[in-house]
């Protein structure tokens, strides 16, 4: 499902800005995964516009790829014409989730897409388009945290390390997996990041298999 991230519409009287609409191929960007950001540039002026180039000011550790549309620059747009750009964007998971030392913070991240263009017999202009990116933890982070939380809960409860400790970690992981795939299972804890996975895993490890079975669908 495409999600509108930003839009800036120009004037049709030759004064104003280009029309720009930004959407993504997914509602959120999970750390460690890639989405495509589609940018539609429309000439909202009454004269020809030449798009000379663009740049993107992104938050740290969010990486843009290259777009085949770059080969078409500079590109002349007649009044009402549009030009589509599709840019892959991704980020890395944190190192503790088998990723990298550098990863972006989760939550809303602001960025700026800059377009250089020139009107006929005019100097070059720069248009800044704000683009909001919604960064979420990757599923790997949440699952790993649930597994670790199950082990920690078991250790706190029994003060010993054994096979039951490992089983608790596995039960914590599976409870998170099940809850994210069944809408009828409500854990009372929001599992949107690693902290949520850690808390659920800990409860499973500390309270035992009865807590785990309490959330399973009844046959």
Q: Is the pLDDT score of 118 beyond 90? A: yes
Given a contact cutoff of 8 angstroms between Cβ atoms, the answer to whether 178 and 216 are in contact is yes
Q: Tell me the C-alpha distance between 93 and 113, whole Å.
A: 24
What pLDDT, on a 0 to 100 scale, did the predictor assign at position 3? 42
Angle at 44 between CA 5 and CA 47, to 5 degrees: 150
- Tell whether pTM > 0.85: no
Lookup: tokens for 30: 């999970």
At residue 66, the 3 state secondary structure works out as coil
Mean confidence (pLDDT) of the chain:
86
Question: If DSSP codes are grouped into helix, strand and coil, which group holds residue 44?
Answer: coil
- Residue located via tokens 């991704």: 90
Q: List domains and CATH numbers for the chain.
A: 3-136 (2.60.40.10), 139-213 (no CATH)
Tokens of 42: 């429309």
Which of these ranges, 113-117, 140-144, 175-179, has the smallest mean pLDDT?
175-179
């Amino acid at each position: 499902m495409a999600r509108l991230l930003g839009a800036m519409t120009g004037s049709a009287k030759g004064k104003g800005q280009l029309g720009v609409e930004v959407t993504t191929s997914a509602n959120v960007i999970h750390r460690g995964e890639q989405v495509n950001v589609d940018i539609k540039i429309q000439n909202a002026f009454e004269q020809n516009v030449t798009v000379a180039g663009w740049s993107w000011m992104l938050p740290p550790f969010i990486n843009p790829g290259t777009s085949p549309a770059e080969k078409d620059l500079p590109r002349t747009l007649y009044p009402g014409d549009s030009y589509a750009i599709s840019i892959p964007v991704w980020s890395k998971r944190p190192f503790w989730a088998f990723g990298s030392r550098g990863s972006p913070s989760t939550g809303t991240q602001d960025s700026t897409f800059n377009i250089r263009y020139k009107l006929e017999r005019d100097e070059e202009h720069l248009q800044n388009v704000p683009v909001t990116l919604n960064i979420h933890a990757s599923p790997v982070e949440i699952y790993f945290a649930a597994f670790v939380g199950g082990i920690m809960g078991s250790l706190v409860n029994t003060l010993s390390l054994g096979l039951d400790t490992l089983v608790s970690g596995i039960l914590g992981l599976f409870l998170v997996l099940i809850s994210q795939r069944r809408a009828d299972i409500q854990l009372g804890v929001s599992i949107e990041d690693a902290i949520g996975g850690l808390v659920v895993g800990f409860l499973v490890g500390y309270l035992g298999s009865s807590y785990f079975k309490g959330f399973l669908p009844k046959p």
